[in-house]
Chain A
Amino acid sequence: MTDTTDTGVTRAEYCAVACAEVFRGDGEVMASAFGTAPALGARLARLTFATDLVLTDGDAALVDGAPPLGAAPSSLVLESHMPYRRVFDVVWSGRRNLIMMASQIDRTGNQNISAIGPWARPKAQLIGVRGAPGNTVNHSTSYWVPNHSTRSFVEQVDVVSGVGYARAEAAGPSASRFHEIRYVVSNLGVFDFATPDRSMRLASVHPGVSVAEVVESTGFALTVPDDVPDTRDPTPEELDLLRTVLDPSGLRDREVRG
């Protein structure tokens, strides 16, 4: 295993590469990515191993290539008009792969962005369920949690916005038919649901993070394999793309430190 300090690869760069893996094997689908590491991950994938991926301009268009973070709108090559009304056609057709944030995530992959506390009178009203219910039962969804703690990785989320495995199964075949929670990427590691009961499993730790730290920072019983690999290193090409092309000002290191 490579030591972080030897290669100089930052934690944020491991996170970006882990987010890129969300899109491996995807063909011509719309990649939607919320957060800095996911935005970099989708771009890395588009430029390297998932070249048919279609990125958006974050407004109402699909763009050619993979523009740097914060690229001027005038520098983008637009491919297609994608207003919100058409986004729903894409979502419901399944031709989309999404990585979005989670204020809370639980053992079976339920996600919450609606409210903390009881929904009827929340302790903290968040943004609202947004498109999470529809996204999760229509196309592959992954989550990005830049602040892994027992407050974000909880036994049970307060309001199920994005639907996890147990809830999708309980809701019946119409809910589970196109349902897939592919990965959860946090600032500490990568998680999947490759367990018999489709509960969350530690898939890899980012170099420099111990398994014990992940377990302590998680508010539920995580499945931990005997042998937990490190999150893979960025290739030299990926590192160069991250540092000199996609994010030369280092926005990634402001989202995740270390």
Chain B
Amino acid sequence: MADKRLTLEDFVTELESGMTIGFGGWGSRRKPMAAVRAILRSDLTDLTVVSYGGPDVGLLCAAGKVAKVVYGFVTLDSIPTDPHFKAARQSGAIGAMEIDEGMFYLGLLAASQRVPFLPTRAGLGSDVLTVNPSLRTVRSPYEDGEELVAMPALRLDAAVVHVNRADAAGSGQILGPDPFFDELFLGAADRRFVTTEQVVATDELATGGPLQSMCISRLLTDGVVETPGGAHFTACVPDYGRDEGFQREYVAAAGDPDAWAAFRGRFLDVDEAGYQSATRRAADERAAAKAAKEGT
């Protein structure tokens, strides 16, 4: 089996400005955040970001990397909206394709199956069809004659997802309750990357969880990057939950240019190891501040 292990720096060199890139996960859950941070440190720009959106979208917007976002929602789960995405939409800085989240699924599925579209009722009658004038309907060739939305394939130049475990050949294991649409992001993409909490020997996958958790096959993977804490600050259960304190800090900093510059300097203008140690220190500081407050 080929050894597909890469570093985060290798991963970024596989990407180009202007690409359409899919990011796995959902909202503020199991997002490939180390990969996002590596893109933030690069000179990549003009990206089309395809995502069940969370802080991946927000951070890329904040850094001016984004030409367009394809999404059904952008949310931080415990906080309804992402402030940077909100600002980018409201200032008109980015283009947008907003579609029903089920249409999004079918777009990835169509791309994975190499068909141009898949039919669905979702979207009919809604403004999804008016704000995306390129979307078309299709009439059933059978007796029913139903007219349905023809959701076009969401073909991706590259995709990256974050999983709990993977082997060096790119078989990935998701130990949390929901695999989301990660498999389809990879299936829809020309260049496919898996970041993982830990690279393990292949035989450790089956001993580490049920067969159903081994849902990313190496047929879908070109590169594997070991990035412990690579989904932080989003949830990556059972390895860790969402870092709610840090997420609140992210949102608070977004509201003020100086605070954001300080946040960026401390957490984003550093390499991944620097990010991980800085966020651990920040957690300690929040705990100390809380203890001090409760003590007085």
A residues contacting B by CB (< 8 A) are 59-61, 81, 83-85, 88, 91-92, 114-115, 119-134, 136-138, 159-163, 167-168, 170-175, 178-179
Residue of B71, B74, B128, B148 with highest tally of chain A CB at under 10 A: B128
Complex contact A121–B90 (CB within 8 A):
yes
- The reply on B177 being an interface residue by CB < 8 A is yes
Complex contact B102–A92 (CB within 8 A):
yes
- Can you report 5 A-B residue pairs in the complex whose CB atoms are below 8 A from each other? A61-B177, A83-B179, A131-B102, A138-B121, A161-B126
Complex contact B127–A128 (CB within 8 A):
no
Complex contact B128–A133 (CB within 8 A):
yes
Query: CB within 8 A of B125: which of A59, A83, A159, A160?
Result: A160
Query: CB within 8 A of A172: which of B85, B105, B123, B147?
Result: B147
Residue of B nearest to A114 (CB): B98
Query: CB within 8 A of A123: which of B72, B90, B147?
Result: B90
Chain A residues lying within 8 Å of B285, measured Cβ to Cβ, are none
Complex contact B121–A88 (CB within 8 A):
no
- The reply on B124 being an interface residue by CB < 8 A is yes
Q: Number of residues in B with C-beta < 8 Å to the partner?
A: 40
**Interface Cβ pair total, 8 Å cutoff:** 136
Complex contact A122–B90 (CB within 8 A):
yes
A159-B124 contact in complex given A127-B75, A130-B73, A131-B102, C-beta closer than 8 Å = no
- The reply on B80 being an interface residue by CB < 8 A is yes
Chain A residues lying within 8 Å of B181, measured Cβ to Cβ, are 84-85
Chain A residues lying within 8 Å of B102, measured Cβ to Cβ, are 88, 91-92, 131, 134
Q: From residue A39, how far is it (CB to closest CB) to chain B in Å?
A: 16
Q: Which 6 A-B pairs have the closest CB atoms?
A: A134-B122, A128-B73, A171-B125, A133-B126, A60-B177, A175-B124
- The reply on B100 being an interface residue by CB < 8 A is yes
B residues contacting A by CB (< 8 A) are 26, 53, 71-75, 80-81, 85-86, 89-90, 92, 98-103, 105, 120-128, 130-131, 146-148, 177-181
Complex contact B81–A126 (CB within 8 A):
yes
Beyond known contacts A124-B86, A131-B101: 20 more, CB 8 A cutoff: A83-B180, A88-B102, A92-B120, A114-B98, A119-B131, A122-B89, A127-B74, A128-B72, A129-B128, A130-B73, A131-B72, A132-B126, A134-B101, A137-B125, A159-B127, A167-B126, A168-B125, A170-B125, A173-B146, A175-B125
Chain B residues lying within 8 Å of A119, measured Cβ to Cβ, are 98, 127, 131
Q: From residue B120, how far is it (CB to closest CB) to chain A in Å?
A: 7
A60-B125 contact in complex given A127-B74, A129-B72, C-beta closer than 8 Å = no
Query: CB within 8 A of A137: which of B89, B122, B127?
Result: B122
Q: From residue B185, how far is it (CB to closest CB) to chain A in Å?
A: 12
Chain A residues lying within 8 Å of B75, measured Cβ to Cβ, are 127-128
Q: From residue A38, how far is it (CB to closest CB) to chain B in Å?
A: 16
Chain A residues lying within 8 Å of B178, measured Cβ to Cβ, are 59-60, 83-84
Q: From residue B54, how far is it (CB to closest CB) to chain A in Å?
A: 11
Complex contact A125–B131 (CB within 8 A):
no
Query: CB within 8 A of A129: which of B85, B92, B100, B121?
Result: B100
Residue of B74, B98, B179 with highest tally of chain A CB at under 10 A: B98
Complex contact B124–A163 (CB within 8 A):
yes
Complex CA gap A173/B124 in Å reads 10
Residue of A128, A159, A161 with highest tally of chain B CB at under 10 A: A128
Complex CA gap A175/B100 in Å reads 14
Chain B residues lying within 8 Å of A171, measured Cβ to Cβ, are 124-125
Residue of A nearest to B74 (CB): A128
A125-B81 contact in complex given A84-B178, A114-B98, C-beta closer than 8 Å = yes
Complex contact A174–B72 (CB within 8 A):
no
Chain B residues lying within 8 Å of A123, measured Cβ to Cβ, are 90
Chain A residues lying within 8 Å of B130, measured Cβ to Cβ, are 160
Complex contact A129–B125 (CB within 8 A):
no
Complex contact B127–A172 (CB within 8 A):
no
Complex CA gap A175/B147 in Å reads 9
Complex CA gap A167/B130 in Å reads 12
Complex CA gap A132/B131 in Å reads 15
Complex CA gap A124/B148 in Å reads 31
Query: CB within 8 A of A120: which of B81, B124, B131, B148?
Result: B131
Complex contact B127–A127 (CB within 8 A):
no
Residue of B nearest to A175 (CB): B124
Residue of B80, B86, B89, B121 with highest tally of chain A CB at under 10 A: B121
Chain A residues lying within 8 Å of B80, measured Cβ to Cβ, are 126-127
Complex CA gap A125/B87 in Å reads 8
Complex CA gap A173/B137 in Å reads 13
Chain B residues lying within 8 Å of A132, measured Cβ to Cβ, are 100, 126
Complex contact B127–A161 (CB within 8 A):
yes
Chain A residues lying within 8 Å of B99, measured Cβ to Cβ, are 129
